Structure 1
Amino acid sequence: MDKPAPSRYLVDENLIEAEHEKMISSDVHAMEIIKFINLSLDFIDKSIIYDNNSSKNHVDLLRLSVRIFNSSAATLRLIRCGYWQASFTLIRDVIETSSLLLLLSEDSESLNEWVSLEEKERKQKYGAVKVRMRLEQLGNKSAKRIRDAYNALSLYAAHPTPEGFHVNTINGITQRGPFVDQIKLNASIEEIAIRLLDAVYIVDTLIESNDHEYMEYRKKYIKYAKKWEDRYPSNG
């Protein structure tokens, strides 16, 4: 048997990804989570495709939905390759974008302002903290839960902190590059699934479509998603 060709890259994740695929394939619960992630990404994708509102403001909201799709898909890829802090950082991006999308979709004046403001002022008025504060003021029930998750992901992943050292450490040794870890694998796929559950409901409220095929598809997906909502009752 021929030996595999040497990688052209110093850091090659193929073997790590293969080990994680074995772990997922041998775990029924992990397989269910991956199925949910895939179906949720497919739902966001199809919803954007079938939406028939082409107004400028609405398209801007859909573009934020695309960002949620892209960040979620990239998160899953980073998880499979064993980049734990990077994957948790992107999960934080999903939370931040979903929160912003929720606020802007409920307040058209905020959307107009967010689009038109200069970058410095936009950061001051629509940064992650300010968005969560405004959602809390509007009585959003999930705002505190989102804040806690965002802060934890900032502490352990997005920001360089001593606490973050633990994410890349095995038996007291900090790892260089990606590495295999079943505990982090299970935790990270569950975390992105929870955040996608929040995101798909937000995206769903935006979509304007009377297409019969899409409406039937949506009905089946929402029924499926409700089962996951029951599994994670804090979401919603």
Structure 2
Amino acid sequence: MALTQGIPNNIYGLHSAEEQFREKACSIIDADTGLQLHLAVTEAAMDMADVLRQFDTSDEDLKVAQILGMRTFNAFGASIKLTLSGYHQNSALILRDVMETVFLLDLFAGDRLLIERWRFADKKARMRDFSPVKVREALDARDGFTSKKRFEVYELFSELAGHPNMKSSWMMRPQRDGDAVIGPFMEATALEAVISEMGRLAVQVGEKLDHFFPANWDQCLPSRLAFTQLKLKWIKTFYAPAGGP
């Protein structure tokens, strides 16, 4: 087949389908206050990352927190775009990156001295001390957790989105018992699954970034307050005790 100038027509057609799926996704979200709240708290966490990166500093350790926050901003933006376009599995794969990043932020928030170790670690030292599994184990030990919930969630993301296996095909099926499809698709259950996990991660991201804002820096207060208010509403909505108010 001879090469033609410009973008192939099939790529244009694929983009057109993605835009149609985005419209359908927006209609689903417009009718679901829960999904709206997940996205609102995600936007608030992204704003926290954007405000933190604006703080002018020569502190190399703080710059690490800023860069990690910027990484979560970009990841959330890409994940939102993908799931609204019908690429739910690929969106979830990016959320696994957010999970690894927020675990690292959590570790650094608890012990700022670890940031310098991480900055100067060579590959061998980084894998020994700061690989995803080592970070999860350090957090569990610090918090006294023995149920390995962090591992279970990470493993779920890996199986459904991160690694090619039979379970990963589940996120390629518009219907639970149906066939896998090629290309994007829009289905409410898949969209809800991704966006709800996004909201859960966004709450964690905002909480950890909050630890790194310099004291007495008034410029950050509106963003921090907006996130806190949405976080409390999110917790009340999704984790209120059964039978509670």
Tell me which interval the TM-score lies in, with the shorter structure as reference length: 0.7 to 0.9
| Alignment partner, residue 215 of structure 1 | 221
* Native 8 Å contact 1:95 1:150 kept in 2: yes
| Alignment partner, residue 149 of structure 2 | 145
Cα displacement (A) at 1:216? 4.2
1:45 aligns with 2:59: no
Give matches, 1:182-221, under 5 Å: 182-221=188-227
Residue 100 of structure 2, aligned match among 74, 86, 96: 96
| Alignment partner, residue 243 of structure 2 | none
How many pairs are equivalent? 228
Q: Greater CA deviation, 212-221 or 60-69?
A: 212-221
CA distance in 1 between partners of 2:124 and 2:164 (Å):
24
Cα displacement (A) at 1:143? 8.3
Residue 181 of structure 1, aligned match among 170, 183, 187: 187
Cα displacement (A) at 1:47? 3.1
* Native 8 Å contact 2:213 2:220 kept in 1: no
Percent identity at matched positions? 23
Cα displacement (A) at 1:191? 0.7
Give matches, 1:21-170, under 5 Å: 21-49=26-54, 51-139=55-143, 144-169=148-173, 170=175
* Native 8 Å contact 2:79 2:92 kept in 1: yes
Q: CA RMSD in A?
A: 2.3
Give the TM-score, by structure 2 length.
0.83
Report SS of the residue matched to 1:173. Answer: coil
Cα displacement (A) at 1:96? 0.5
Report SS of the residue matched to 1:172. Answer: coil
CA distance in 1 between partners of 2:146 and 2:222 (Å):
28
C-alpha change, 1:23 and 1:61, in structure 2 (3 Å) is same
| Alignment partner, residue 3 of structure 1 | none
CA distance in 1 between partners of 2:47 and 2:92 (Å):
21
For structure 2, the residue ranges without an aligned partner over 5 or more in a row are 1-8, 241-245
CA distance in 1 between partners of 2:121 and 2:194 (Å):
35
* Native 8 Å contact 1:197 1:229 kept in 2: no
Runs of 4+ that moved beyond 4 A: 140-143
| Alignment partner, residue 9 of structure 1 | 12
C-alpha change, 1:142 and 1:64, in structure 2 (3 Å) is farther
Report SS of the residue matched to 1:174. Answer: coil
Q: Greater CA deviation, 210-219 or 159-168?
A: 210-219
Cα displacement (A) at 1:217? 4.2
